[in-house]
Structure 1
Amino acid sequence: MADADHNELLLRSLIQALPHAVLVHQRGVIQQANGAAQRLLGLRPEQLQGARLLELVTPEDREVLIRQHKSLALGNPGGCEVRFLGPGGEMKWVSLAAAPMDGGKRVLCSLLDLTEERFRQRKLLEKERLLESLLSGFPQGISVLDTQMRIVLVNPTMERWYAHSMPLLGKKCFQAYQGALEPCEVCPVIETLKTGRNSQALVPLRDQAGSQVGWLNLYSAPLRDMESGELCGILQFVEDTTQARLALESLRESQELISRAITASSDWISISRLSDGKYIEVNQAFEKKTGYTRGEVLGKSALELGIWVEPHKRQEAINILQETGSLRDFEVDFRMKSGEIRTFSLSVDLIEVSGETCSLAICREITERKELERQLALSQKMEAVGRLAGGVAHDFNNLLTVILGQADLLLVEMTKDDPVREGLEEIRQAAKRAASLTRQLLAFSRRQILQPKILDLNSVVVDMERMLSRLIGEDVEILTLRDPDLWPVKLDQAQIEQVLLNLAVNARDAMPKGGRLRIETSNRMLDSGFLSSRCLDLPAGPYVTLRFSDTGVGMDEQTKQKIFEPFFTTKEKGTGLGLATVYGIVTQSGGYIEVESSPGQGATFNLYFPAAQGAELLGTTGGDSLVGTWTGSQTVLVAEDEETVRKLVCSVLRARGYKVLEAEDGLRASQVEESHQGPIHLLVTDVVMPGLGGRELSEKVRARRPGTKVLYISGYTEEALQGLGSLEGKAHFLSKPFSPDALARKVREILGTY
């Protein structure tokens, strides 16, 4: 669509919004009239559209319009007063100010209803019959001139306008009104003196200093001697059209501003025919976003260009448009020229262009926002699944603790040839496998208790490389690229090794015919923009990157969305916990993991871990060593709300020589501790119990007995992590399920290290 059509659209919209009457005609044929003009003339839009302006006025005034049109053709904008005939025969006096547009092809007219003023004039003439009273009743300036252009009479309006030139009488009009020595270049008075007919001209309005301050519309009419009919003077009407001119100028400026705004808009704006969808105009943002040039799209539809990813959505949008006349915030995917698919919020209004219904579309890209929403939803989903997994694992660990513990105790009492022994061993092994599954669930749900220390990730990769080679087989080549200046990290080494193993297994399964596994380490500064774009609540700063890339079969988008979900697998015999475990460990370690993949292009896992800084690099110590045997004679207070677990713990400790005090919850344990007269060397407590949790209980006990050591046992619930954090310093932890030997060894280790 040409710029003229585009401007035409804007002009039509602005004209409709103006409060005063405005119409546009071409060679006298009305093309557009706004609502105020329709009301003024008493005609409906269809009556005005295409009507001839000359036929709407009285026959007596048609000559005035013809002269005005000729004056406009000479480049002289101006106005006139004419009488319009309404549909019921009623007559209205109208002041018509006109200005050429489109290089003179069309005329823009501003209409002012003078009917009431004319009615007042007539009444005044009828009642008073005095020329002075008649002149005083006009809001316009009125003066009477003789044939020498000298002022013989003025009304109060003229006196007010030209008070600085008083007295006016006796002066020539151009001297009094313009302060000039010669008549105006375009002077209607001279024209009337020459022709004896009415005349009109637009002249500048000047102040006392001679500076132009506005515009005046001058109308002159001949005064004739009633007996001889000869011209004896001029009746002059003066109308201040400054405001009308300013309104027209404002209209042009607004049109220019709107045009610039559309050009500068960052939103994609287009106009297309509703009938066939073919574009007739697009802005620069359309070209920039889609990659198509204006010339490539004009005359073609979005369907022809393949822009609509889902063509049925276009029909859905059209249906809404036809029902309501507009479309708001309609989300749709569009295909760019490059083939890239982006998401937009589409708003459309129906407009008329050259008499044809078209759609004005504004498209705001929301691709990034939708991706953030998707990532947030995925994060919330993973969090919810993690809470469920953690709760299930906690309950199973309590059961498995009893099963493993009782199986171990029974095996100790059995002879090697006992016929029941083999079945009991199977029970024990099955319980261990179940415990392994719960550990993976807890890793995914980020409810493990980590034991971090300062690590060189390069060293971990080197130490694991041989094991990974054996794990993935000879037909997969391993290539490692390690940054020699890699920053240290603070991680649980066992858990990071688990991450490497799980990622290697995943890569192996993705390359059944062999391939290449590339492991890289590097330093990277992550800024707030990178983190916020992925909805990550992580601090900006230095991170260490571990990059795992394979040349395997790759993944489609649907698979990528689910790979970190527990129990999701694409393998026949997979558990679906491998990558879920990786996700949980990385996230709990304060890091972030993302995957890049497409079918047939392999997969790359990017892991980001915060670099260790400042105080984290100080005070790292080696682990405690086991001292002594697994028996003892000290006093141990056991607090556990799960009865079967509590009985097992107490039974194991008593069998190894310890004096055991037991309590079914934290409150009871606190009472037992207060009433006990002797020493309590060790508190063994579950982390989460009704009434008083393990952390609060340990604080109470140690406040009264500073020498008492504490061993936490738990099924890794979220509450435990919130209370304990990572196991550092003198906090000891034993995860459920545990064997009797593991419990005895841990107790002996704690009591033997102080």
Structure 2
Amino acid sequence: MPRQEPSHRPGASVAPEDGAAHVGAALDYVTDAVILLRHDWTIEFVNVAFERATGRQREALIGRNYWQSLPGVMGARFDVEARAAMQSRTAHLYEEFNARLSKWFECRAFPCEHGLVVLFMDITMRKADELTRVDLEEKLVRIQRMESLGTLAGGVAHDFNNILAAILGHAGMMLDELPVGSPLRAHMQQIKRAGDRARDIVQRILAYARGSGQELAKHRLRPLVEDSIGLLRSTLPATVRLTVDLHGDDCVATVDPAEVQQVVLNLCTNAWQAMPGGHGHLHVALHAVHFDAPRAFTIGRVAPTRYAALSVRDDGHGMSEEVTKRLFEPFFTTKPRGQGTGLGLHIVHGIVHAHGGAIDVQSAPGRGTLFCVYLPVVGHEAAPLDTAALSRVADPGEGEHVVYVDDDPIVLLMVEALLKKAGYDVRAYASPDECLEDVEQGRAPMQLLITDFNMPGMNGLELAAAVRATLPRVPVIITTGYIGEELTDAADRMGGVAVLQKERSFEELVELAALALRGFPESRFLDTGLSPL
């Protein structure tokens, strides 16, 4: 009878050599790298994934000593952990980043009868997911902190603006009373300058902390950039030399002012943090440019038209081409862990894209970096408020009955004195409830109501609505430390209500009162640049 071939049906026995071959062939399909080491560190087997990971062919490895063929190739820690696993005859598990491959590996070393089996699992994607989750959690915490900061800033601004209103108001009245040659005038002018500066700082902090809730509108970019730089100066290290070159007075763009400020602050902060040891030169510029043909930049393309070019240049470390290509990716950062989220430039990109602009980046290692943001220029903006025209309509008061309500006694005394000096008959209340009671009982003749917005028990809008139940046509001026969109919308709906930034009471309250007593005539508003309410 003819000799039968060996059976390979399920359950049939297989020669040891055939079994090893089948296992080896199967391991070549595994995507994780595998190596089998004998007790004497001779390499007995490697799979295809191991060949790819090390860049070595198995023919050059099998039968050779590991320490002579692959020392350090799989990472310094592997050398330590593999020796420990071989000597202790216990499994070892650890994670290590391989700089040569730019990958994370989970390494598992298992002692076996013949020696040691080591499995290298590529966990780079898992690590990336973990880092992304951590970054998202950190971003959420930062967002929550910013929301808390906005709430805190609003409360602090209310108290601080009351103090500023009193300081600026009394300083202004003193300057009006002091003779021209008085030596005290210089001191009062310094007090007023300091108060003006404090007022600007508070408004900038509020605008940045509260973020943007405004619709896009036409704005001149130069004042927005100047405000941003003013806020930047307070945080810039003394070792950074800042130079500014702002032109482009005709650069009017349809923008959100708070987002423009965020772009400037993010770019400038990144710039000085890229300087070695925080020492260097930061240059900010703004000018108008015109493109005759479509242009493509690092991020985005622009059509042939006029643009405002905002540039931020530093003489810091600079970046390689590979880094520059990834700059605007979310969570990409070159900063040490814990010192950056990788979201700043991603946010800048989103803002510029939403405004129809583009960003160009020029950088090289050791030669600094230049960011240039291009925003499309539109027609002229609305005319600014003409305070001179406003003052021309403010004739001196003739004893008109004005009621003023504010729970802060310092501001109450200052505004009462200011209005009396302007010729008005003023009744001042520290409590909205007391004011409302006198109005309802007919004890408070009123031609104009001026009230603070933030008061305990009843805010200014609620008081105005309650007063109008008795005096439906009385005009109202509401003063507040922060003019929010909700307040202005509510004032518009109510009609005959003007909103004034409280710390500008000395400069504008008397003039605005004159307009209010005339029923906010539209022609007067058009003369001054205000809009009728």
Paired residue type of 1:645: V
Instruction: Give the conservation status (yes or no) of the 8 Å contact 2:245–2:285.
Output: yes
Matches within 5 A, 1:80-159: 98-100=12-14, 104=18
Which secondary structure state, in structure 2, belongs to the residue aligned with residue 647 of structure 1? Answer: helix
* Residues 553, 716 of structure 1: alpha-carbon distance in 2 compared, 3 angstrom cutoff: same
* Residues 477, 560 of structure 1: alpha-carbon distance in 2 compared, 3 angstrom cutoff: farther
Match of 1:737 in 2: 503
Instruction: Give the conservation status (yes or no) of the 8 Å contact 1:507–1:517.
Output: no
* Residues 637, 354 of structure 1: alpha-carbon distance in 2 compared, 3 angstrom cutoff: farther
* Residues 446, 547 of structure 1: alpha-carbon distance in 2 compared, 3 angstrom cutoff: farther
Instruction: Give the conservation status (yes or no) of the 8 Å contact 1:449–1:726.
Output: no
Instruction: Give the conservation status (yes or no) of the 8 Å contact 1:282–1:294.
Output: no
Match of 2:232 in 1: none
Distance in 2, matches of 1:644 and 1:460, equals 37
Match of 1:75 in 2: 6
Match of 2:406 in 1: 640
Paired residue type of 2:454: V
Match of 1:489 in 2: 254
The counterpart of 2:481, out of the listed 692, 715, 723, is 715
Distance in 2, matches of 1:411 and 1:518, equals 39
Offset, 1:348:
4.7
Using structure 1 for the length normalisation, give the TM-score: 0.43
The counterpart of 1:356, out of the listed 105, 110, 115, is 115
Match of 1:691 in 2: 457
* Residues 498, 706 of structure 1: alpha-carbon distance in 2 compared, 3 angstrom cutoff: farther
Paired residue type of 1:443: A
Distance in 1, matches of 2:338 and 2:309, equals 19
Match of 1:440 in 2: 204
Matches within 5 A, 1:700-711: 700-702=466-468, 705-711=471-477
* Residues 660, 686 of structure 1: alpha-carbon distance in 2 compared, 3 angstrom cutoff: same
Match of 2:190 in 1: 426
Offset, 1:396:
2.5
Distance in 1, matches of 2:433 and 2:47, equals 74
Considering fraction of residues, name the structure with more strand. Answer: 1
Instruction: Give the conservation status (yes or no) of the 8 Å contact 1:638–1:650.
Output: yes
Which secondary structure state, in structure 1, belongs to the residue aligned with residue 163 of structure 2? Answer: helix
Distance in 2, matches of 1:503 and 1:100, equals 69
1:370 pairs with 2:135? no
Distance in 2, matches of 1:407 and 1:662, equals 21
Distance in 2, matches of 1:353 and 1:413, equals 98
Offset, 1:689:
2.0
Match of 2:396 in 1: 631
Matches within 5 A, 1:326-365: 335=99, 337=101, 347-352=106-111, 355-362=114-121, 363-365=123-125
* Residues 281, 653 of structure 1: alpha-carbon distance in 2 compared, 3 angstrom cutoff: farther
The counterpart of 2:430, out of the listed 639, 643, 664, is 664
Offset, 1:629:
1.4
Instruction: Give the conservation status (yes or no) of the 8 Å contact 2:280–2:316.
Output: no
* Residues 376, 663 of structure 1: alpha-carbon distance in 2 compared, 3 angstrom cutoff: same
Distance in 2, matches of 1:389 and 1:279, equals 68
Which secondary structure state, in structure 1, belongs to the residue aligned with residue 504 of structure 2? Answer: coil
Which secondary structure state, in structure 2, belongs to the residue aligned with residue 98 of structure 1? Answer: coil
Matches within 5 A, 1:277-288: none
**CA offsets per residue over residues 513-561 of structure 1, 9 Å max, x none?**
98987878999xxxxxx9xxxxxxxxxxxxxx97744442146855999
Match of 2:159 in 1: 395
1:454 pairs with 2:213? no
Offset, 1:648:
1.3
**CA offsets per residue over residues 130-155 of structure 1, 9 Å max, x none?**
xxxxxxxxxxxxxxxxxxxxxxxxxx
Where structure 1 has 5 or more consecutive residues not aligned to the other structure, the ranges are 1-70, 80-96, 109-251, 264-268, 469-474, 524-529, 531-544, 565-578
Paired residue type of 1:98: A
1:553 pairs with 2:320? no
Offset, 1:637:
3.2
Offset, 1:446:
2.8
Distance in 2, matches of 1:293 and 1:479, equals 57
Identity of paired residues, percent?
21
The two structures, once aligned, show a CA RMSD in angstroms of 6.4
* Residues 739, 317 of structure 1: alpha-carbon distance in 2 compared, 3 angstrom cutoff: farther
* Residues 498, 600 of structure 1: alpha-carbon distance in 2 compared, 3 angstrom cutoff: same
* Residues 439, 678 of structure 1: alpha-carbon distance in 2 compared, 3 angstrom cutoff: closer
Matches within 5 A, 1:584-603: 600-603=367-370
Where structure 2 has 5 or more consecutive residues not aligned to the other structure, the ranges are 230-242, 300-306, 319-333, 522-533
Paired residue type of 1:454: A
Distance in 2, matches of 1:561 and 1:476, equals 31
Match of 2:326 in 1: none
Offset, 1:430:
2.2
Offset, 1:740:
2.0
Using structure 2 for the length normalisation, give the TM-score: 0.58
Offset, 1:693:
2.4
Matches within 5 A, 1:155-170: none
Offset, 1:683:
3.3
Which secondary structure state, in structure 2, belongs to the residue aligned with residue 716 of structure 1? Answer: coil
Offset, 1:75:
0.8
Match of 1:655 in 2: 421
Distance in 1, matches of 2:447 and 2:51, equals 76
Offset, 1:357:
3.1
**CA offsets per residue over residues 435-479 of structure 1, 9 Å max, x none?**
2322332232237997x6732x7x7579999xx9xxxxxx99999
Distance in 1, matches of 2:115 and 2:289, equals 62
Instruction: Give the conservation status (yes or no) of the 8 Å contact 1:630–1:744.
Output: no
Instruction: Give the conservation status (yes or no) of the 8 Å contact 2:157–2:202.
Output: yes
Which secondary structure state, in structure 2, belongs to the residue aligned with residue 688 of structure 1? Answer: coil
* Residues 630, 273 of structure 1: alpha-carbon distance in 2 compared, 3 angstrom cutoff: farther
1:674 pairs with 2:461? no
Offset, 1:644:
0.6
Instruction: Give the conservation status (yes or no) of the 8 Å contact 1:403–1:431.
Output: yes
User: Relative CO higher for 1 or 2, CA cutoff 8 Å, sep ≥ 6?
Assistant: 2
**CA offsets per residue over residues 698-722 of structure 1, 9 Å max, x none?**
34444654433333322228xx566
**CA offsets per residue over residues 351-381 of structure 1, 9 Å max, x none?**
3467333443431424366354354454445
**CA offsets per residue over residues 187-231 of structure 1, 9 Å max, x none?**
xxxxxxxxxxxxxxxxxxxxxxxxxxxxxxxxxxxxxxxxxxxxx
Paired residue type of 1:629: A
Paired positions, count: 439
**CA offsets per residue over residues 51-85 of structure 1, 9 Å max, x none?**
xxxxxxxxxxxxxxxxxxxx9x9413589xxxxxx
Which secondary structure state, in structure 2, belongs to the residue aligned with residue 357 of structure 1? Answer: strand
* Residues 314, 394 of structure 1: alpha-carbon distance in 2 compared, 3 angstrom cutoff: farther
Offset, 1:327:
5.0
* Residues 103, 427 of structure 1: alpha-carbon distance in 2 compared, 3 angstrom cutoff: same
Offset, 1:744:
1.3
Paired residue type of 2:110: I
**CA offsets per residue over residues 620-650 of structure 1, 9 Å max, x none?**
9877773621533444332322211122122
Matches within 5 A, 1:3-402: 74-76=5-7, 98-100=12-14, 104=18, 262-263=30-31, 269-271=32-34, 304=72, 325=91, 335=99, 337=101, 347-352=106-111, 355-362=114-121, 363-365=123-125, 366-367=127-128, 370-371=131-132, 372-373=135-136, 374-385=138-149, 387-402=151-166
* Residues 410, 461 of structure 1: alpha-carbon distance in 2 compared, 3 angstrom cutoff: closer
